[in-house]
Amino acid sequence: MIHDIEYETMPREALEAIQLRRLQNTLARVYSSVPFYRDAFNAAGIKPSDIKSLSDLSRIPFTTKKDLRDNYPFNMFAVPMDNVVRIHASSGTTGQPTVVGYTARDIGTWSNLMARALAAGGAGRGDIIHNAYGYGLFTGGLGIHYGAERLGASVIPVSGGNTKRQVVIMKDFGPTILTSTPSYALHLAEVAEEVGVSFDSLKFKFGVFGAEPWSEKMREEIERKLNLIAVDIYGLSEVMGPGIAIECHEGKKGLHVFEDHFIPEIVDPETLELLPYGEKGELVFTSLTKEAFPVIRYRTRDITSLNPEPCICGRTHVRMSRVTGRSDDMLIIRGVNVFPTQIESVLMETEEVEPHYQLVVDREDNLDVLTVKVEVSERTFTDEVKGLQSLERRISKNIKELLGVSARVKLVEPKGIDRSQGKAVRVVDNRNI
């Protein structure tokens, strides 16, 4: 179902007229109220009034994660604090967290966009949504929650963790929609199996998964193990949170970006040159309606491409392809670019292992050494050491063939790789460069 039929199926021309008007308003507002943007525009010799068409956007300087950090905590806010009703922060896995704020109207916009996203993922009034995204500073839990309420669905704010209890809730409350990270969805499947609950006996129809990169193979695995239709959702707290883009369950081929609220661009992460539709590069966002925390040409670090072709669902908004990695998650191993999701796709094709993995990079004698830790699977475990060793060699060979990089594959015990706490830690880089 399309939640916001007027805006989501708007002809491109009308959509672009709205984008331009909203862009001009946003630029004027940040120029007058956020010193960082005023300085950046001045340094580039640009005034908001110079922006006369959407293509003029490319003249405006980029904003980076570092800029947000430098303005920690509230200096990027475009409204006085007494208009801010909510504060979230991104996890500071590397350095300082970034802090974002929302006005009451921002929360309303976000709720509406999340309602759109859930509807595109198959949810509607009467559905029961099992929301296993973490509640807290992370935008996932509350973002989905408000959207579910806006949609008129019943939401179970179960959050992350205590997985055995979650299985009981799934059995007793009969939720029809699951929202979680893809790795947690697989963890739920494992725990359900351990306690003897089959997903075939549960009522799930659709699942909306995101907040970490995942592959098409992982989708197949989730759909098979959880007996539901899985779609990809995209968002990041710096731009808003979940609900910036969503895959429609009818098409399941790319995520519609809600272009009446955000302008997506794809740039070359090295040269920063704008790339045409279809080409892979770094995703850049400009918000069009946000009040407390507008972002202008924010570099997400996520690698994707945009597809403007019409979609069978009827939405006219461009689709971004599944994020294949982050330009800062990208590992350079002996000069070869490696995205964790590429390794994941190799593992997904290997029946004998679970899709839980971790990449560890060390430097030994000035050479990069990549170790892929992957869990041995109960289903196919044999007691033959030879068999297990040849499995390691086979995975290593497949990685070499696909990526051109040598990897040492190390089988680990089940649950040897932590995944119960929301986002899985996929990369441990021990190189001190």
Residues forming the site for another protein (CB under 8 A):
376-378, 381-385, 388-389, 392, 410-416
Closest approach of Zn ion to the CB of residue 181, in Å: 23
Considering only CA atoms, which of 254, 255, 121 is closest in space to residue 178? 121
Residue 384's binding partner out of Zn ion, another protein, none, with CB under 5 to 8 Å set by partner kind? another protein
Name the token pair of 208: 């909306």
Distance between CA 98 and CA 74 in Å, rounded?
9
Residue 89's binding partner out of Zn ion, another protein, none, with CB under 5 to 8 Å set by partner kind? none
- 302 CB burial (10 A radius; 0-12, 13-18, 19+): buried
- 176 CB burial (10 A radius; 0-12, 13-18, 19+): buried
Report 285-344 residues binding Zn ion (CB under 5 A). 311, 313, 315
Considering only CA atoms, which of 220, 219, 224 is closest in space to residue 204? 224
Residue 115's binding partner out of another protein, Zn ion, none, with CB under 5 to 8 Å set by partner kind? none
Interaction between residue 257 and Zn ion (CB under 5 A): no
Residue 238's binding partner out of Zn ion, another protein, none, with CB under 5 to 8 Å set by partner kind? none
Closest approach of another protein to the CB of residue 363, in Å: 20
Residue 268's binding partner out of Zn ion, another protein, none, with CB under 5 to 8 Å set by partner kind? none
Among 61, 157, 251, 416, binds Zn ion (CB under 5 A): 251
Whether 95 and 66 have beta carbons less than 8 Å apart is answered as: no
CB atoms within 10 A of CB 71: 17
Interaction between residue 2 and Zn ion (CB under 5 A): no
| Pairing state between β 262-267 and 281-287 | antiparallel
Name the token pair of 159: 């959050």
Q: Distance between terminal CA atoms of the chain?
A: 50
> Helical H runs in 99-211?
104-120, 139-151, 163-173, 182-194
Whose Cβ is closer to Zn ion: residue 130's or residue 249's? 249
Residue 416's binding partner out of Zn ion, another protein, none, with CB under 5 to 8 Å set by partner kind? another protein
Kindly indicate which of the ranges 79-87, 162-170, 242-250, 297-305 contains the residues binding Zn ion, using the contact rule CB under 5 A. 242-250
Closest approach of Zn ion to the CB of residue 247, in Å: 8
Interaction between residue 248 and Zn ion (CB under 5 A): yes
Whose Cβ is closer to Zn ion: residue 249's or residue 326's? 249
Chain residues binding Zn ion by CB under 5 A are 248, 251, 311, 313, 315
